[in-house]
Amino acid sequence: MISEELQQLLLKYCEPEDQLLQHIDRETNLKVLMPRMLSGHYQGRVLSLLSKMISPKRILEIGTFTGYATLCLAEGLAQDGIIYTLDINEELEDMVRENFAKSPLGAKIKYILGDAQQSIARLNETFDLVFIDADKKNNGTYYDLIFDHVRSGGLIIVDNVLWSGKIVNNAQDKDTKNISSFNDKINEDQRVEKLILPVRDGLFVIRKK
């Protein structure tokens, strides 16, 4: 959505990746199908900074992939904080657990495999920050499931809400229509303050009033 020149400028003026994040990026691109699903350097720094701004005690991430965003979000956790990260892809389990084990934040990460809706129903927590980055058709479902479990002033962040620019171009495929409907749902929700950051594929940043 932005030029390569601007992307390089943005990277120049943000915090660097640590060695583990560089490793995850490289291994994901070499070994995993659809590596574009990885948050990547710049978006990772955005997620890290948002997390650090509110020092959450409890984070929920829906959609782990290879764990890059998980570690970025975990950087902001309070000393006694925990991040729950949910995913259904068992094929990536060994890679993900290895990545988390290499991190000094690994003890704060609760990695849960299975159907996300069922996993959410079993969690008895109040969250300060939720990051939704899973199957896009269920964005609205996940939002509704977690909303009452987010504290007032807490953040809900949803990825891929610009869908490679297809939202702007009013594309008529099913995925684009689903994302557009979700965006409209958030825009009409008077319980929250919200804006879309044109970071990578679009981050909807939503603050519960």
Structure tokens at 60: 């929920």
Residue 4: predicted pLDDT: 87
pLDDT digits (tens, 9 = 90+) for 122-174: 999 999 999 999 999 999 999 999 999 999 999 999 999 998 878 887 777 88
Residue 165: predicted pLDDT: 79
**Number of residues written out for the chain:** 209
Give the residue ranges of the chain where pLDDT is below 50: none
Q: How far is CA 125 from CA 41, 57, 60, 82, 150, in A?
A: 29, 10, 9, 10, 9
Q: Which residues contact 72 (CB under 8 A, 6 or more apart)?
A: 21, 39, 44, 45, 47, 48, 51
Residue 160: predicted pLDDT: 94
Q: Work out the percent of the chain whose per-residue pLDDT is above 70.
A: 100
CB 50 within 8 A of CB 155: yes
Residue 204: DSSP 8-state: E
Residue 196: DSSP 8-state: E
Structure tokens at 161: 């809400």
Burial grade of 184 (CB within 10 A; 0-12, 13-18, 19 or more): exposed
Residue 3: predicted pLDDT: 84
Instruction: Evaluate if pTM is beyond 0.75.
Output: yes
Residue 171: predicted pLDDT: 72
Structure tokens at 21: 């994040």
Q: Is the dihedral of CA 44, 46, 49, 51 positive or negative?
A: negative
Long-range contacts of 140-146 (CB under 8 A, 24+ apart): 140/181, 140/182, 140/185, 141/117, 142/62, 142/116, 142/117, 143/182, 143/185, 143/186, 145/117, 145/120, 145/121, 146/60, 146/62, 146/120
Question: According to the 3-state scheme, what is the secondary structure of 113-126?
Answer: ECCHHHHHHHCCCC
Residue 151: predicted pLDDT: 98
Mean pLDDT of the chain: 95
Write out the DSSP string of 7-62.
HHHHHHTSPPP-HHHHHHHHHHHHHSSSGGGS-HHHHHHHHHHHHHHH--SEEEEE
